[in-house]
Structure formats: C-alpha cells, structure tokens
Amino acid sequence: MIADDDALVRRALAVFLTAAGIDVVEESPDGGHAIAAARSLKPDVALVDVQMPGVDGVAATAGIIQQSPATKVLAITTFGTIDSIMPMLRAGASGYLLKDTAPEDIVAAVHDVISGSGVLSPRVTTRLIASIREATIPVVEPLGEFEALSNREAEVVRLLAAGLSNAEIAVQMHVSEGTVKAHLGNIIAKWGVRDRVQVLIRAARSGLVSFT
C-alpha cells in the first residue's frame, strides 16, 4: 500500500514496485484513507509519506498498525531531519527512506521489512545515531526483569547502535551473520518490539547504550 498526497509520487512508486513483482493493492492520497484501507486490505507493507494533509504520516503510521498489526510501515519522504524521523519511528515505522533513494533500494527495503529487518537510509542512520549521541532521546523506560539481555545480546545492541550492519556485527563478534540474526531475534522477542530499528530506540530510551 502507498500513502502519499502527491499523485505523481504514488504512481511512480506503484509502477516500479509492480515492475519488481510487488503487488500494489492501494494508493491512498492521505493518512485517513490509508488507515481505512489498512483495516480492510491488511497489506504486508505500507509506504507512508510523513507530511500529508489531514491525517499526517505519524498519525497514519500509528493508525495503520492499530488496524493491521502485521503491516510493516516504511516511511518514505523528502524530510530527513531528526524531528521528522523520530516521531515516525516512535509511532511504529519499521524503516525510513528518503525520496531520493534509488528505486531498486526501495524495492529491497520492502523485502527487508517483510523479512523483519528494519531499514534506514544511510543518511537517516547517521542522523538517528547523532541524535542519540546528543542525548535527545530521554531515558524514560528502564528494562524490566524479563527484558534483561545476555552479554552477547547486549554486545549486538551496542554494535547496532554504533551503526553497524548485521554482516559488520558478525565480523566484530567473530560469529556468523546467522548468529547475529538469532541474537537480534531473541532481543526482539524479549523486548516485544517489531524490528531492529525499534530495538535501537528501545535501547537508547532504556539507557542500555551509552555514547559518552
């Protein structure tokens, strides 16, 4: 599903997603339409613009997930400021891409979020991590007793917060990439979050990662 108030953007996204073998079941002009469509269509992925008239991207993201919890939201927008990024991720988005992202990378991102991986464009990752370094995310939610991580899981989280990919984490820890994915799966299950992007936010808010 695509939600964007720009008809040209909706059509362009639909064209190259369809060409890549992805079924586009809905093209919504605003967040309200997208929420209603999610309720009836239950799409695997929703590409959602941040700034839309009426119901904006943040409210649409929360509404889509409420109506269809299995739907993964992938924000795609021209706005790469941290003030735009964080509200979308906190609302439950599994990824955040800029509209200058290459079409093939957007297609890959759709497949990634379906498989459970969070997706951030390189510039967005840099800004998100910078915001954590500047302590703009308050520590408001300490980990509970059953959310505690093993030493290896905690190391994965620290390396994830340093901006490393799964493959790079595997090299640092001298393990296979499959082992890293298994650790991330355990962390996601313990914390009750949706993907690696939400793991990063949870870790920052809990104070588990330190950037001093």
Here the tokens at position 129 are 């991590």
Task: Give the count of beta carbons closer than 10 Å to the beta carbon of residue 119.
Answer: 26
Report the alpha-carbon angle 153-190-65, nearest 5: 120
Decide if 54 contacts 31 (C-beta within 8 A).
yes
Here the tokens at position 88 are 């979308």
Separation in Å, CA 210 to CA 9, 45, 168, 178, 181: 39, 32, 20, 26, 22
CATH 3.40.50.2300 fits 2-131, yes or no: yes
Residue-wise pLDDT for 116-168, tens only, equals: 766 666 556 555 655 555 544 555 577 888 888 999 999 999 888 777 778 88
Name the β-bridge partners of 46.
73
Residue-wise pLDDT for 156-202, tens only, equals: 998 887 777 788 889 999 999 889 989 988 998 999 887 777 787 78
The topology (CATH level 3) of 140-206 is: Arc Repressor Mutant, subunit A (1.10.10)
Q: Is residue 39 pLDDT above 50, yes or no?
A: yes
Extents of the domains making up the chain? 2-131, 140-206
Q: Please, which residues have CB within 8 angstroms of residue 143's CB and are 6 or more apart in sequence? A: 149, 191, 206, 208
What percent of the chain clears pLDDT 70, i.e. is strictly above it? 85
